[in-house]
Amino acid sequence: MKRLTLVIFLWFILVSGYSQAIASFGKAGHDPGIDQSMFVAGEVLVRFKDEVQVALLKQGGVVQTGILKIDQIFTKYGIKSNDRLFPGENRQTTKVMLRSGNGQEFERPNLHNIYKLKVGEVSRMFEAIEDLQKDPNVLFAEPNYILSITNAQPVSAVISSPPATATNPNDPLYSQQWYIPAIHADEVWDSIQGKDSTQVICILDTGVDWMHPDLQNKIWTNTDEIPGNGIDDDGNGKIDDVRGWDFINNDNNPQDDNSHGTHCSGIAAAQANNGIGISGVSPGARIMPIKVFQSSGTGDVATISQGITYAANNGATVLSMSFGTYVESLTMKSALANAYATTVLVAAGGNEGLCIGPGPCADLRDGAPLYPGAYSFVLGVEATKQTVDNCGIRACFSNYDQDGPVFSAYYDLLNYELKAPGEGILSCVPGGNYRVYSGTSMATPLVAGAVAIYRALRPAESTEMLFGNLINTMGDHLDLEAALNIVPTPVLNIVTYEITDTLNGDRDGRVDAGETIEFRVMVRNTWGLTDSVKVGIAFHEFEDTTTATILTREAMVGSISAYATLYNAVPLKVHFAPGLADGRSIVFDLTTWYDNHQGEDTRQMVISVENGVELSGVISSDLTLYPDRQYIITDYLAIPQGVTLTIKPGTSLKFGEGKSMMVAGTVLSEGTKDSLITFTKRNLGGNWKGLEVWTSASSFHAAYTVFEH
């Protein structure tokens, strides 16, 4: 293809937006867009680069860091305080790489250089954030987002614990706990024999009624702290934190004044066989109460992140998080990624009936991931129910992963991995009573309890293998018994592909008619180790095979360890016919397998071929377009002052999705009755933005010109 070279100049409008968050559980019809409306006024969270030395000074009422450019920003916006968010964290001297349950490798982040700032001029908070983000000493700056837990609606009245009866276990309300046999947790209880007492489940929530009869013997004890002596014996900055910590009131009494946290605690680990109430999924695990949400159900990212780090540093083996937000906080992500090194992270998928995305859901709403449940290193949990209805086994209120727990169209592999009972869940509430709640908030501690049992029975197994066994044995619900007894086999998935057009092409990274294209395919193994992995390419069924010639049909990928990804070293090659029409879509099948075509996974690949003269950027001199060629606008096209673009009758201009023509000079688009000029879109599924006339001196002369959208 002939490529027309233009002088490139950036014409753009930068729109800066700052996300703010509020998450909702048990609240029907919650709009994810609300998550961009709440933050703590005047508070900014900033992470400086690891090597930056930050001093804590104050001058004229404004804090200083000892870094000239940062101090200028602090003075400009009147920064009144600059507090380390994690004062007990030291800089890591070596890089530690982690691999998530979905096979994504990432670096364990340092937390020592994250600070919470208080901006004196609250109205200029976002300006301060923008200036901080531009500074080379800063990794990120963001508002202190507000998250909210709205109590799941009770679907029954308060249930008082009746006298003990001879049931097995002897907890009198156990017969109403349909969710425990649904995940087959009861089938492995005989093999536990107290081994799960090694597990500590942190309930990061509204606190826990640690005096509830079904919970009082299950509360974690900080053995490094001497109770009641008024001294921080273990040196973690918390005095007498013998049973967790209340980060809302900054004291050692994480009592629940909402009920949400107590309900979650009972699901995970209420005492079994005590002749009272219910049994938890993990009868021997201990509960670490961490209060980071107020009685109203609101809490901020800084507080939640401190709670996450406290739990990880004080021995929590499982972290249960029945909250979320549709806005990503890099502060909270850093705290979670740091905790992942020692703790299994479990989080709710959300209650808006929304798909994770990307793209539209079945009800035509735009999909959106809920954090932290969507992260690849967090077990995201959807809610299920006992009976099938128009939503299937999934509870209609539950968010869901439309393409399953392994494949993800997001570049960072966002997923919800598990499904667990979340409708009609009986558990504890403050005051020694019990209620039935519904929500992914309830499904989350159920998974946390199952993870505690799994870790107790498989202490030497990696977190990645735990992910794989739970995901690959799941039926309608999580199946704990099957996960503990399965023999892992390789499970291959095509994640993405890359194209290269350097053999005989124009090296623009797009497929042009007449080019030979090389394809490198990324394969992910989400379960057992395998070798002899291959990839292949073929025309999709009924596709016209004259459109291209497949030169290399198969290629070796090699050995892929559990939860790893790999590309084929030798590319697949396809030559595309030179006479193809512009915009011609060709459908191929990409397939991966191991050994003798075992474990095959096939994904369709749709290639859109270009055939024409590509236009983009700023035209530097007068230019004429003729009808004997096709013109493809691959990026924004600008006609500056003093330059004339002449379009001859019969010419067609095809605009890429979202592209436009910006006119500051002159455009002569004068067709004839029998020879129209057409401005149209390239692809059926997308639209171009149209024309923008920038100045009063600009002129666009049009006759017999058609604009198609």
Q: Which residues are catalytic?
A: 205, 260, 441
Helix (H, G, I), strand (E, B) or coil at 312: helix
Nearest to 207 by CA among 150, 246, 154, 180: 246
Quick one: which of 447, 402, 391, 403 has its CA closest to 422? Answer: 447
- For 100, 449, 595, the CA distances from 599, given in Å and listed in that order, are 22, 32, 9
Instruction: Determine the straight-line distance between the first and last CA of the chain, rounded to whole angstroms.
Output: 26
440-457 helix and 260-269 helix, angle to the nearest 10 degrees: 30
Reported for 495-499, long-range contacts at CB under 8 A and 24+ positions apart, including other chains, are 495/407, 495/408, 495/413, 495/522, 495/523, 495/524, 495/565, 496/521, 496/522, 497/521, 497/522, 497/590, 497/605, 498/522, 498/567
Phi, psi of 613 (to 5 degrees): -90, 125
Q: Which amino acid is at 122?
A: V
Interatomic CA distance for residues 124 and 659, integer angstroms: 33
Query: Cα(63)–Cα(83) distance, rounded to whole angstroms?
Result: 10
Structure tokens at 430: 């403050």
Measured CA distances, 290 to 115, 209, 234 (Å):
21, 11, 18
Q: With both helix axes pointing from N to C terminus, report the angle between 440-457 and 463-472 in degrees, rounded to the nearest 10.
A: 120
Nearest to 457 by CA among 483, 433, 439, 475: 483
Contact 267, 444 (CB under 8 A): no
For helices 125-134 and 68-77, the axis angle rounded to 10 degrees is 170
> Which residues fall within 8 angstroms of residue 331, CB to CB, at 6 or more apart?
45, 47, 85, 114, 140, 142, 301, 302, 305
- As given in the structure block, the two tokens for residue 142 are 């963001």
Peptide bond into 372 cis (omega under 30): yes
Report the C-alpha gap between 589 and 541 in whole angstroms: 9
- Order of strands, edge to edge, in the sheet holding 666-670? 623-625, 644-647, 666-670, 699-703
The pair of structure tokens assigned to 69 is 């450019």
The values of phi and psi at residue 247, to 5°, are -80, -10
Q: Concatenated DSSP letters for 44-66? A: EEEEE-TT-----EEETTEEE-S
Contact 330, 342 (CB under 8 A): no
Beta partners for residue 134, in sequence order = none
Q: Give residue for tokens 């961009």.
A: 36
Nearest to 603 by CA among 518, 496, 484: 496
